[in-house]
């Protein structure tokens, strides 16, 4: 793990600033042998961090629940195990905002209201809307402030409480399963299959910089895609390469994709 790798990994000045900030947070925990954590990171930011830190022992990505998109990097010294992440001392806090059933604030309403409170984006994790409540994740540093001051999202009045991470209300993620065969596990083939468009159309989206693999942009149509990879394409949506199966007698590869609604 070398700080000098920041310049090799960063593609922009913003990337460089982000990686330097992450380095300082993690390195502080390493040197003092104490728990340390970053703010919540987007999927792309998490990928950049993986390039920087590799498989650093004691470093884990956690966003409050298993399938969280926005996650912190948390360093746990050897005297702590992962049960710490779900404990009362966790750096991740879940707040539940309750509201009347016939009102329907959106994800944008909640995020806008939080930003309106002066909260930085990296202090807020995933926002999970339910029928008459919303569970959302924040850093423990701002939880007390929000419990006292966060009262509205858009025009909707809220009642805020803190809930255990084991009691989070997880929405059902709806998807359509697509079983297909492809000539190869290239990005253009997977995008073509997952979104039911021609391979040439898929290539145009990719070449235009509209495709992302696990949050990182990719303009290479022939990029190999790994099982479990999440692919999003602006204007089309998001798919998961759920399974790579056997090769048929005609030399094609069977795949199972999840196309999210």
Name the superfamily (CATH) of residues 92-167.
RRM (RNA recognition motif) domain (3.30.70.330)
The CATH number of the domain covering residues in 5-80: 3.30.1370.160
Residues of the chain with CATH 3.10.290.10: 175-260
Residues of the chain with CATH 3.30.1370.160: 5-80
CATH number for domain 175-260, candidates 3.90.340.10, 3.20.20.120, 3.10.290.10, 3.40.50.970? 3.10.290.10
Is the confidence at residue 185, as pLDDT, over 70? yes
- d(CA 42, CA 125) in angstroms, rounded, equals 9
pLDDT of residue 1: 63
Q: What is the mean pLDDT of residues 142-164?
A: 94
Average pLDDT, the chain: 93
Is 251's pLDDT higher than 90?
A: yes
pLDDT for 43? 85
pLDDT of residue 11: 84
Q: Give per-residue pLDDT as tens, 34-89.
A: 999 999 999 889 989 988 998 899 999 999 998 898 999 999 999 999 999 999 99
What average pLDDT score do residues 94-121 get?
92
d(CA 68, CA 150): 23
Percent of the chain with pLDDT over 90: 82
Where along the chain do the CATH 3.30.70.330 domains lie?
A: 92-167
Strand order in the sheet with 124-129: 124-129, 133-139, 92-98, 159-163
**What average pLDDT score do residues 234-244 get?**
95
Could you give the residue ranges of the DSSP H alpha helices within 84-171?
107-116, 140-149
Average pLDDT over residues 92-116: 92
Secondary structure letter of residue 64 according to DSSP: S
Q: What is the pTM of this model?
A: 0.79
* pLDDT, average across residues 101-126: 92
Mean pLDDT of 187-215: 94
Distance CA 116, CA 124 (A): 13
């Amino acid at each position: 793990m070398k700080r000098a790798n920041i310049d090799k990994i960063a593609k922009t000045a913003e990337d460089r600033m982000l990686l330097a900030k992450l380095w300082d947070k993690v390195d502080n925990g390493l040197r003092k042998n104490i728990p340390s954590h970053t703010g919540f990171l987007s999927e792309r930011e998490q990928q950049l961090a993986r390039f920087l830190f590799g498989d650093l022992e004691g470093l884990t990505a956690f966003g409050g629940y298993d399938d969280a998109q926005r996650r912190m990097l948390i360093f746990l010294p050897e005297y702590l195990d992962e049960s710490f992440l779900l404990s009362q001392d966790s750096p991740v806090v879940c707040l539940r905002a309750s509201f009347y059933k016939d009102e329907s604030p959106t994800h944008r309403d909640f995020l806008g209201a939080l930003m309106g409170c002066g909260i930085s984006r990296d202090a807020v994790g995933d926002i999970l809307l339910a029928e008459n409540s919303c569970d959302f994740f924040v850093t423990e540093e701002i939880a007390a402030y929000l419990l006292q001051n966060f009262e509205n999202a858009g025009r909707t009045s809220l009642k805020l409480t803190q809930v255990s991470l084991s009691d989070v209300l997880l929405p059902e993620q709806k998807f359509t399963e697509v079983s297909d065969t492809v000539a190869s596990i290239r990005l253009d083939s997977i995008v073509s299959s997952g979104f039911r468009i021609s391979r040439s159309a898929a290539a145009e989206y990719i070449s235009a910089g509209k495709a992302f693999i696990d949050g990182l942009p990719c303009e290479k149509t022939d990029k190999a895609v790994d099982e479990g990879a999440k692919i999003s394409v602006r204007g089309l949506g998001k798919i998961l390469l759920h399974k790579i199966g056997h090769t048929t007698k005609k030399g094609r590869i069977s795949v199972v994709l999840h196309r999210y609604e």
